Amino acid sequence: MADLRKHYLVGPWGGENCCYCCDRCNTEAPAHYNNCTGCPPLCCTCPPLCNLEVTITAHCCFGMNNLEFVMENATWDNFEDHYCYVENPESFNNGGQECYFKDTDVCPHSLSQHPYEKWANKTDDNWGACFCANEPTHDSNNLGVACGSTVSAGGNPIDCEGVWMTFSLCCCDTQQAAMTAQDYEGECKTCSYQFRTSWAACPDVNPPGGGDNVCSCYDGSNEMFFLEHEAIPPDEFPSAGHNNGTTMVWEHVDGTCGFPEDPTDPYDPMDWKMEYKLGDADNLLYWNCDCCFNTQMDPDGMPFVTPKKSVYFTAIIVPVEGCQKGGP
């Protein structure tokens, strides 16, 4: 049986009046740890009290490659209206495990009870943003395309109006909700940070596929018989519809709270950093939607294209420049 004992270093660290958190990730059974059993109710006990910058690197999805955006942090004035709190994010691929236990009788240390470590991107008063409007502009003319959906020779022009994506980073009550990679080597309790993407149609956009579709365009969307269809990373099979929903939790690859090795050195919130992946070279994902087309000719020789697994992503998340020191 795995050793599930927790280790605490109590007292100021790096000149801050907050405690260095307990070890919980590097065990044989990290999923057994949760904040409802007495572990300090924070992922990093001196978290950044500022917005975060996200940089995404994409393989075979030029519209997402080198994508940069900001996620807004919660405050004491608005944390109960924040995306992390309201959405209580979960996903099909994390087993439907909600991020927070809001019943304080069951979980007295629930992380939903304060504004710390809650971030999401926002457009005006709406959580999320419309990405990749006006690209790509041509389909593959039923030939299929992967890793190069800027095809302009011989294809049909398509009006792309973008796809809505909401990115959130929330410190969850249970590690099961956060999904750490098997080779995770992050520091301390950082493994309970859940990074999640939710897809939806942009406002005033009517997806050509109708129903629960979210994409304003995809390879084949100009075809009159609608045999082609959109596909996004949560999809497991190249069939129409989104049977696994339209959200997905990223795998946590690495993370550091940024505490100095020497407790007498000052703590710098700019040293806080998280790294995630969505798919990898051995686990490719679908994306036939705004931002990039990845398709192949129908394997049965029919005159249309089907989605092809071709993409994967990494994300680096750091505090914005000038972030103030963390800690409640």
- Predicted local confidence at residue 280, as pLDDT: 96
* Residue 63 domain boundaries: 30-319
Structural domain contains residue 111: yes
**Distant-in-sequence, close-in-space partners of 105: CB < 8 Å, separation ≥ 6:** none
Could you tell me the pLDDT band of residue 327, with boundaries at 50, 70 and 90? low
Structural domain contains residue 19: no
- Predicted local confidence at residue 129, as pLDDT: 98
Nearest Cα residue to 246 out of 113, 93, 57, 69: 93
* Burial status of residue 159 (CB atoms within 10 A of its CB: 0-12, 13-18, 19 or more): exposed
Structural domain contains residue 119: yes
Q: What is the pLDDT of residues 80-131, one digit of tens each?
A: 999 999 999 999 999 999 999 998 888 887 889 889 999 999 999 999 999 9
Q: What is the pLDDT of residues 179-215, one digit of tens each?
A: 988 888 787 678 889 999 999 999 999 998 788 899 9
Structural domain contains residue 91: yes
Structural domain contains residue 200: yes
Specify the higher pLDDT residue, 30 or 171.
Answer: 171
- Predicted local confidence at residue 12, as pLDDT: 41
Structural domain contains residue 250: yes
Per the structure, the count of domains in the chain is 1
**Distant-in-sequence, close-in-space partners of 158: CB < 8 Å, separation ≥ 6:** 136, 137, 138, 139, 217, 221, 222
Q: What is the pLDDT of residues 23-50, one digit of tens each?
A: 555 444 444 456 676 655 678 877 888 9
Structural domain contains residue 212: yes
Structural domain contains residue 151: yes
CB 170 within 8 A of CB 149: no
Tell me which range, 4-13, 39-48, 163-172, 257-266, is most confidently predicted by mean pLDDT: 163-172
pTM here?
0.89
End-to-end CA distance of the chain: 35
Mean per-residue pLDDT over the chain, rounded = 83
